[in-house]
């Protein structure tokens, strides 16, 4: 078995020497190395960071549709701890003895997808994937036959920060069809060497996605104008299909309050979180200003556009790999 750390993008906020309204920008993030294990593969080369600039202006309340669905009883909040939608785990999936460095194979696995992605827009749109399978065509993605668990470290969260994260998770879940389940708050401190398997803390399963708020002192990679970064870890059995099993999303605890104080701050902040969550599930930057995954923020683009939606829908159709 082997794994692979992935580089994923981040958003940046450069300050303006002239004192004018700062600009929100996106940049490449770093990979997510994990503790050494006998089955891990060498990490791929890290891509250079880019620093591009642009404005973000027109507000857009992303969570409106989600809230409406909940109020009408057609959906539940993503942090509800009810049994996730979709079929129950398939008991016919073989479960074998747990290895010491990773979960018991087959835990929480089903042989059918737990959700259905939104149909991509007609004609699609530009999109890129963070990592491809060995065929160079199919993207690496989370296993759609498993629940994607996530936890939030609330330390440093701005007012309304956790609700903003949950709303963004609900939006990603809606688009990809991936089922996310909130496991509650955690006191786990993010580290560059975060272990993908932490049985003492999270039990016999892959560690959940960790969403956290950190200061620049805690996370030097947030220094300067960086306001967030995200990444996921892919694993495989030998040369088999790779799937993401966990990841992290780190948001700047010092700069988010400043974002939220702007007239369009709620939409801007929501766009930042949506951008990072798209990277978490496997989307990369594109050189198209109409897309949220463009490395430069663009006025009015605070939700997923046609290319983003096309790529996210495809990432929700990854293979099921119950043997992991």
Q: What does the pLDDT profile of the chain (324 residues) look like in tens digits?
A: 444 444 343 544 433 333 333 333 333 333 333 333 333 333 333 333 322 233 232 222 222 322 322 222 323 333 333 334 445 555 555 555 556 788 998 888 887 899 999 999 999 999 999 999 999 999 999 999 999 999 999 999 999 999 999 999 999 999 999 999 999 999 999 998 899 999 999 999 999 999 999 998 898 888 877 788 999 999 998 889 999 999 999 999 999 999 899 888 899 899 999 999 999 999 999 999 999 998 877 778 899 999 999 999 999 999 999 888
Strands 209-214 and 243-252 turn out to be parallel
Q: What is the CATH number of the domain that holds 148?
A: 3.40.390.10
Q: Which residues contact 257 (CB under 8 A, 6 or more apart)?
A: 158, 159
Helix or strand run (H / E) with residue 227: strand 226-236
**Which residues on adjacent β-strands are paired with residue 11?**
26, 228
Phi, psi (rounded to 5 degrees) for 25: -135, 160
CA 296/CA 214 separation, integer angstroms: 23
CB 315 within 8 A of CB 280: no
Structural domain of 284: 2-44+52-74+116-315
Question: In three state form, how does the secondary structure of 105-124 look?
Answer: CCCCCCCCCCCCCCCCCCCC
Domain assignment present for residue 251? The answer is yes
CA 259/CA 312 separation, integer angstroms: 26
Q: Which two tokens stand for residue 153?
A: 């470290």
pTM above 0.95? Answer: no
Helix or strand run (H / E) with residue 235: strand 226-236
Helix or strand run (H / E) with residue 184: strand 180-185
Domain assignment present for residue 195? The answer is yes
Domain assignment present for residue 102? The answer is no
Domain assignment present for residue 96? The answer is no
Q: How many domains in the chain?
A: 1
Domain assignment present for residue 80? The answer is no
Domain assignment present for residue 103? The answer is no
Match 């991509």 to its residue by tokens.
120
Domain assignment present for residue 293? The answer is yes
Residue 92: predicted pLDDT: 54
Q: Which two tokens stand for residue 223?
A: 């220094």
């Amino acid at each position: 078995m082997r794994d692979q750390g992935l580089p994923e993008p981040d958003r940046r906020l450069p300050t303006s020497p002239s004192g004018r309204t700062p600009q929100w920008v996106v940049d490449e993030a770093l990979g997510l190395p994990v503790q050494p294990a006998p089955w891990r593969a060498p990490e791929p080369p890290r891509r250079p960071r880019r620093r591009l600039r642009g404005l973000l202006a027109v507000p857009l309340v992303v969570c409106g549709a989600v809230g409406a669905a909940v109020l009408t009883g057609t959906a539940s909040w993503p942090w509800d701890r009810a049994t996730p939608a979709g079929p129950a785990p398939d008991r016919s999936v073989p479960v074998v003895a747990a290895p010491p460095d990773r979960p018991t194979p087959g835990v929480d696995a089903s042989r059918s997808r737990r959700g259905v992605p939104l149909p991509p827009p007609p004609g699609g749109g530009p999109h890129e994937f963070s990592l491809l399978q060995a065929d160079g065509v199919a993207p690496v993605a989370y296993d759609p036959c498993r629940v994607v668990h996530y936890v939030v470290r609330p330390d440093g969260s701005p007012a309304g920060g956790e609700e903003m994260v949950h709303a963004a998770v609900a939006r990603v879940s809606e688009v990809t069809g991936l089922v996310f389940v909130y496991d509650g708050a955690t006191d786990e401190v993010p580290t560059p060497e975060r272990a993908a398997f932490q049985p003492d803390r999270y039990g016999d399963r892959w560690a959940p996605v960790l969403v956290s708020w950190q200061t620049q002192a805690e996370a030097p990679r947030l220094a300067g104008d960086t306001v967030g970064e995200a990444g996921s870890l892919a694993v495989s059995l030998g040369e088999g299909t790779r799937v993401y099993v966990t990841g992290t999303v780190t948001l700047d605890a010092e700069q988010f309050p400043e974002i939220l104080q702007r007239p369009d701050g709620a939409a801007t902040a929501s766009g930042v979180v949506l951008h990072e969550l798209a990277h978490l599930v496997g989307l990369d930057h594109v050189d198209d200003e109409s897309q949220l995954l463009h490395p430069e923020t663009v006025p009015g683009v605070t939700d997923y556009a046609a290319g983003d939606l096309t790529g996210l829908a495809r990432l929700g159709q990854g293979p099921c790999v119950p043997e992991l």
